[in-house]
């Protein structure tokens, strides 16, 4: 910085040098001068002059407006500042070029949560102008059913300054809603100052449609499988079991007619009678496994208790069943889903775990029900895909999804496995509503928002 001082009542007007811009005293300064003149108090007039790399500020000090007595000049070297501005302008130009040619929808917001930038991809997608989207304008394009969730994720992440990922429906220029996945990350200056977010969205409508199709197919297959299981279980119980029972009665009557002295024949008939009873009991077990009529008639608690006893007795594993705080009313689809999960998890314990003991816990409250099956067996690596694995766990996930619940599988090698299934009690209705909504017409609305 340099200072200049000039004395005397000389004229201080100077023609700006080439490349200089002159900042003349403003209107308010002049009127201030008049006021000063009237009151005969000393005052100053300022003028700034820019050169390419220099900013010079002139300050005229005088005892009255017409008689300047001193001219003071201050000169600042602004070369570095100008170079920085040039670099910033260049980098912004490059960013816009990249952002506008990227095949994604890009947005940026400031530290106040309001949006300050949308790339060409976004504007082409929504068919709206930049001015319409800026600030909170973009929110009018978000599906009304997704907006509250979207805002909650955005606000919470923003306040915590952490990245986020969310899926929502955004109105396309043709009026249809498309699913997008939005990744947002916080932006910071070099000195660590938070300056907002930058986000990119990808249209995932095709993927969502395929997922929905697969889910509905999965659901239909499970329903078809259940119906077929029930049919076979009925056949086994009502037809084959009855015929076996008649065979057993016939063999018993035959045994009675044989004289005690005919030891060989009696032993043979007794052997057949024993085989018939075993076959009948196996058929019963298979029938119960395929479709638990106990579940239909006496409910989930009794059916699960029976299953645990059966597995424990048959495979010589300790299976402890605990039930507490269970809500009175458990919808049939939820009960069947939990029963099937327990069945598959216990089969896995028998087949894979080498566990000594297993716990089955059924609990809940008014808002939901949970089922936990844990064993102390050898466990497995849940992160590694096993090419020999079947579809038991996949089917558990699919079943729980159909009733709007969630499933978690935790396993630690040599320590055991825990399968936890949780179902909110209004979830089956919710899931049905969600499915209808995903395929039906949506209403359009707008909300006033505090920020993105």
Ligand X SMILES: Nc1ncnc2c1ncn2[C@@H]1O[C@H](COP(=O)(O)OP(=O)(O)OP(=O)(O)O)[C@@H](O)[C@H]1O
Query: Which residues bind to Mg ion, rule: CB under 5 A?
Result: 348, 392
Q: Are 126 and 172 in contact (CB under 8 A)?
A: yes
Residue 386: contacted member of Mg ion, ligand X, none (CB under 5 to 8 Å, by partner type): ligand X
The pair phi, psi for residue 250, each rounded to 5°, is -60, -45
328 binds ligand X (CB under 6 A): no
> Shortest approach of ligand X to residue 253 CB, angstroms?
42
Q: Could you tell me the smallest distance in angstroms from the CB atom of residue 347 to Mg ion? A: 6
Which of 389, 412, 433, 446 contacts ligand X by CB under 6 A? 389
The nearest distance, CB 394 to ligand X, in angstroms, is 6
What H or E segment, with its residue span, contains residue 307? helix 300-315
Taking the complex as a whole, the smallest distance from the CB of residue 441 to Mg ion amounts, in Å, to: 41
Residues contacting ligand X: total by CB under 6 A:
17
Least Å distance between CB 229 and ligand X?
Answer: 15
Choice from 380, 397, 420, 435 touching ligand X (CB under 6 A) = 380
Q: How far is the CB of 354 from ligand X (least distance, A)?
A: 8
Q: Is residue 218 close enough to count as binding ligand X by CB under 6 A? A: no
Question: What does the block give as tokens for 144?
Answer: 């009304």
126 binds, among ligand X, Mg ion, none (CB under 5 to 8 A by kind): none
Closest distance of CB 339 from Mg ion, Å: 15
Q: Between residues 24 and 394, which has the closer beta carbon with respect to Mg ion?
A: 394
Residue of 15, 253, 386, 436 interacting with ligand X (CB under 6 A) = 386
CA distances from 374 to 64, 362, 386, 405 (A): 95, 12, 21, 19
Residue 450 neighbours by CB under 8 Å, 6+ apart = 113, 136, 155
Q: Does 375 bind ligand X (CB under 6 A)?
A: yes
CB of 389 to Mg ion, least distance (A): 8
Q: Which is nearer to ligand X, 386 or 436 (CB)?
A: 386
In the complex, the smallest distance separating the C-beta of residue 239 from Mg ion, rounded to whole angstroms, is 29
User: Which entry of Mg ion, ligand X, none binds 389, CB below 5 to 8 A by partner kind?
Assistant: ligand X
Name which of 243 and 351 has its Cβ closer to Mg ion.
Answer: 351
* Residue 351 touching ligand X (CB under 6 A): yes
> Nearest-CA neighbor of 111 among 175, 202, 196, 34?
196
Residue 95 CA to residue 90 CA, distance in Å, equals: 9
Q: Which of 300, 306, 282, 293 is nearest to 233 (CA)?
A: 293
By CB under 6 A, tell whether 348 contacts ligand X.
Answer: yes
Contact partner at residue 157 from Mg ion, ligand X, none, CB < 5 to 8 Å by partner kind? none
Nearer to Mg ion, 49 or 349 (CB): 349
CB 154 within 8 A of CB 164: yes
Q: How far is the CB of 418 from ligand X (least distance, A)?
A: 9
CA-to-CA distance for 366 and 329, rounded, in angstroms?
9
Task: For Cα atoms 96, 102, 105, give the angle at the middle one, nearest 5 degrees.
Answer: 90
Q: How far apart are the first and last CA of the chain?
A: 44
Residue nearest to Mg ion (CB): 392
392 touching ligand X, by CB under 6 A: yes
270 binds, among Mg ion, ligand X, none (CB under 5 to 8 A by kind): none
- In the complex, the smallest distance separating the C-beta of residue 420 from ligand X, rounded to whole angstroms, is 13
The binder of ligand X chosen from 352, 397, 401, 435 (CB under 6 A): 352
3 state SS of 417: strand
Angstrom distance (rounded) from CA 395 to CA 57:
78
Check if the beta carbon of residue 451 is closer than 8 Å to that of residue 114.
yes
Cα–Cα distances (Å) from 108 to 87, 101, 105, 114, 274, in that order, read: 20, 16, 11, 9, 78
CB-based contacts of 402: which residues, under 8 Å, 6+ apart?
218, 219, 222, 333, 337, 431
**Residue nearest ligand X (C-beta atom):** 390
**One residue of 184, 199, 379, 405 binding ligand X per CB under 6 A:** 379
Is residue 390 at the binding interface for ligand X, with CB under 6 A as the rule?
yes
In this chain, which of 391, 414, 441, 448 binds ligand X, going by CB under 6 A? 391
Q: Which residues of 98-116 are buried (b: 16+ CB within 10 A; e: fewer)?
A: ebeeeebbbbbbbeebbbe
CA distances, 416 to each of 356, 379, 381, 386, 388 (Å):
10, 4, 11, 17, 20
Residue 1 vs 383, nearer CB to ligand X: 383
Using the rule CB under 6 A, is 393 a contact of ligand X?
A: yes
Give the binding site for ligand X (CB under 6 A): 348-349, 351-353, 375, 377-380, 386, 389-393, 417
């Amino acid at each position: 910085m340099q200072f200049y001082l000039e004395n005397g009542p000389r004229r201080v007007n100077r023609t700006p040098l080439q490349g200089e811009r002159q900042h003349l005293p403003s209107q308010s300064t002049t009127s201030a001068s008049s006021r000063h003149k009237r009151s005969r108090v000393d005052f100053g007039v300022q003028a700034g002059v820019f050169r390419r790399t220099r900013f010079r500020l002139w300050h005229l000090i005088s005892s009255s407006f017409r008689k300047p007595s001193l001219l003071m000049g201050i000169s600042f070297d602004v070369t570095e500042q100008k170079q920085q501005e040039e670099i910033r302008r260049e980098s912004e130009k490059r960013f816009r070029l990249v952002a506008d040619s990227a095949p994604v929808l890009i947005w940026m917001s400031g530290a106040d949560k309001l949006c300050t930038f949308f790339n060409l991809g976004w504007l082409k997608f929504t068919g709206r102008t930049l001015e319409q989207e800026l600030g909170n304008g973009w929110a009018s394009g978000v599906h009304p059913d997704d907006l509250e969730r979207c805002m909650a994720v955005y606000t919470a992440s923003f306040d915590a300054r952490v990245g986020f990922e969310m899926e929502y429906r955004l109105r396309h220029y043709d009026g249809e809603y498309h699913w997008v996945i939005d990744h947002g990350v916080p932006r910071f200056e070099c000195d660590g100052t938070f300056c907002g977010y930058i986000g990119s969205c990808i249209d995932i409508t095709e993927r969502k449609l395929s997922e929905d199709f697969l889910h509905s197919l999965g659901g239909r297959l499970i329903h078809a499988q259940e119906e077929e299981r029930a049919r076979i279980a009925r056949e086994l119980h009502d037809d084959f079991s009855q015929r076996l029972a008649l065979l057993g009665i016939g063999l018993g009557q035959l045994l009675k007619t044989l004289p005690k002295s005919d030891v060989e024949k009696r032993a043979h008939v007794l052997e057949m009678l024993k085989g018939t009873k075993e076959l009948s009991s196996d058929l019963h077990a298979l029938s119960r496994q395929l479709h638990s009529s106990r579940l239909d008639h006496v409910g989930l608690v009794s059916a699960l208790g029976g299953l645990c006893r059966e597995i424990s007795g048959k495979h010589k594993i300790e299976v402890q069943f605990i039930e507490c705080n269970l809500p009175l009313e458990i919808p049939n689809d939820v009960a069947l889903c939990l029963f099937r999960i327990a069945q598959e998890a216990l089969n896995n314990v028998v087949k894979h775990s080498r566990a000594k003991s297993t716990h089955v816990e059924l609990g809940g409250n008014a808002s939901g029900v949970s089922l936990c099956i844990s064993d102390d067996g050898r466990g497995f690596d849940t992160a590694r895909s096993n090419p020999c694995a079947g579809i038991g766990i996949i089917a558990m996930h699919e079943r729980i999804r159909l009733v709007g619940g969630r499933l978690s599988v935790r396993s630690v090698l040599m320590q055991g496995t825990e399968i936890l299934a949780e179902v909110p009690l209004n979830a089956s209705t919710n899931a049905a509503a969600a499915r209808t909504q995903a395929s039906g017409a949506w209403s359009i609305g707008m909300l006033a928002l505090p920020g993105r």
